[in-house]
Structure 1
Amino acid sequence: MKILKNIFQKSRSKEDGIFFNEIQTIIGFKPQSIIYYQKAFTHRSTNQMDLKGNPMNYERLEFLGDAMLSAVIAAHLYNKAPAGDEGYLTKMRSKIVSREHLNELGRDLNLIRFVESKVPTQHFGENIHGNIFEALVGAIFLDKGYDYCEKFIQKSVIIPYVDIAKLEGKVISYKSLLIEWCQKEKKSFFFDVFDDNGNDGQKYFGVKLSIDNKVIAKARATSKKKAEEKAAQRAYFAFQEKIDNK
């Protein structure tokens, strides 16, 4: 433990207790070992290693936090939706722990302000917010155990965000929904992706979505995945009545 303390005691805010106090405010209880939380906000770009040569960053905690979120959310849904079958419960859990929602949780808590990195924060992808939220959950589990981890997830995720009735109507992937509808209705579909760069130096991708050989929607975004999702959303609204009544 002393070795880890030497590795992480770098910034003044962590040494003088500001980091400890802010983490305590976020999680709602006093951390037992602040080291787990410092690790939860250490980016791989710092290239920190322990004495055994193992990387010291948040990625393993992210994996652990993802598992804890899934377990706590699954237990909550099992108790609150007694009529839901396995498929229903799985779909509802996916909506709660979607990457979009986890990113929203991380942004709401402004967790990125704690990240120690050699990469400027403006260069991080959007998923950094959700990743460090998961890492924080993993840190709580290692520091305080399952009960405190569940308490934090209840306070920060379930109570403010989980409304089963609203979640039933929430679409987490327009692309998946549209493909499912096309397959059921025996319709052909094709996402034509191409470079669509402007004059601002930013790389963009354009998408033309065709259904039954007719272009239904177009979109442009900074990644192929985002462009496809945006085009699928526009196509969904074009066919919403038919899709919703399938």
Structure 2
Amino acid sequence: MNREHLYRLLGYRFRDAALLERAMTHRSAGSGHYERLEFLGDSLLNFVVAQALYQRLPEATEGDLTRMRAALVREETLGAVAADLGLADFVQLGGSALKSGVYRRRSVLADTVEALIGAVLLDADIDTARECVERWWGERLITLPDPDTLKDPKTRLQEWLQGRSRPRPEYEVLEISGPAHQQRFRVCCRLDDGNEHVEGNGASRRGAEQNAARAMLEKLDA
């Protein structure tokens, strides 16, 4: 691993290079892997993002803050940060994992970002780790999404109905198919007061319900 190049990408130079090595090491490469650092970094990341949102959005509700934080610390966002930093080329893996291309999986890159945050915290202090998070997240902490766009379909459907004094929707599992390890759910979302109903499919009951709620919203909007 070219440490000097990685230092430049991160905008931070480790005093203890062993922490950097551990943060970039997948469990397939041995016992000195990043998972404990990942645990620490995940906790700090949630705090730093929560504090930033609290300070920048004084009028936002708790629910809005929670949804925006979730969007900023989810795997998809972490993977994008990892891509911005070019971390895929520095992850240390065991032979089998390297051959399978694990190092390019978004989940692994997301874990690596969290581990790096934890490593910076231990190598320096909380203020330095916060500065790294704010620099790595960049515009994501400034150009924030509309909280309403982050609500899941079931929540949006319920609020749509409540705003029109209509009763809550009912969800019913119509079918469960496939083997136990790969089940598919078919769910019906029904509005009894208007005799409206749609169906949704998914790999879990929750996912199918969300898809059914999304379909119902599209029907109501139409």
Q: Is the 8 A contact 1:98 1:172 kept in 2?
A: no
Matched, 1:194 2:174: no
- 1:131 match: 111
Give distance in 2, aligned partners of 1:22 and 1:193: 51
> How many angstroms does 1:136 deviate by?
1.1
SS of 1:77's equivalent? helix
The 5-angstrom pairing of residues 118-157 of structure 1 reads: 118=94, 119-120=97-98, 121-123=100-102, 126-157=106-137
> How many angstroms does 1:194 deviate by?
3.2
The 1:110/1:195 distance shift into structure 2, 3 A limit, reads: farther
Deviations 1:74-127 (A, max 9, x none): 211121111234333223222211232222222333323222222235357542
Give RMSD over aligned pairs. Answer: 3.4
The 1:182/1:44 distance shift into structure 2, 3 A limit, reads: farther
SS of 1:142's equivalent? helix
> How many angstroms does 1:216 deviate by?
2.2
Q: What runs of 5+ residues in structure 1 fail to find an aligned partner?
A: 1-13, 49-55, 197-202
TM-score by length of 2: 0.74
The one of 9, 17, 21 equivalent to 1:38 is 21
The 1:178/1:207 distance shift into structure 2, 3 A limit, reads: farther
Give distance in 1, aligned partners of 2:156 and 2:151: 12
Give distance in 2, aligned partners of 1:60 and 1:25: 25
The 1:26/1:87 distance shift into structure 2, 3 A limit, reads: same
Give distance in 1, aligned partners of 2:211 and 2:141: 23
> How many angstroms does 1:240 deviate by?
4.3
The one of 145, 160, 163 equivalent to 1:166 is 145
- 2:194 match: none
SS of 1:210's equivalent? strand
> How many angstroms does 1:28 deviate by?
0.8
- 1:81 match: 57
Q: Is the 8 A contact 1:61 1:134 kept in 2?
A: yes
The 5-angstrom pairing of residues 166-185 of structure 1 reads: 166-171=145-150, 173-174=152-153, 177=155, 185=167
- 1:3 match: none
> How many angstroms does 1:24 deviate by?
0.9
Q: Is the 8 A contact 1:209 1:232 kept in 2?
A: no
The 1:100/1:182 distance shift into structure 2, 3 A limit, reads: farther
Q: What runs of 5+ residues in structure 2 fail to find an aligned partner?
A: 192-196
SS of 1:116's equivalent? coil
> How many angstroms does 1:183 deviate by?
9.9
- 1:22 match: 5
Aligned length: 206
Q: Is the 8 A contact 2:177 2:184 kept in 1?
A: yes
Q: Is the 8 A contact 2:39 2:115 kept in 1?
A: yes
TM-score by length of 1: 0.68
- Give the number of the structure with larger relative contact order, counting CA–CA contacts within 8 Å between residues 6 or more apart: 2
SS of 2:200's equivalent? strand
SS of 1:170's equivalent? helix
The 5-angstrom pairing of residues 43-122 of structure 1 reads: 43-48=26-31, 56-118=32-94, 119-120=97-98, 121-122=100-101
The 1:89/1:194 distance shift into structure 2, 3 A limit, reads: same
> How many angstroms does 1:63 deviate by?
0.9
Give distance in 1, aligned partners of 2:33 and 2:157: 37
> How many angstroms does 1:26 deviate by?
2.0
The 5-angstrom pairing of residues 200-219 of structure 1 reads: 206-212=184-190, 214-218=197-201
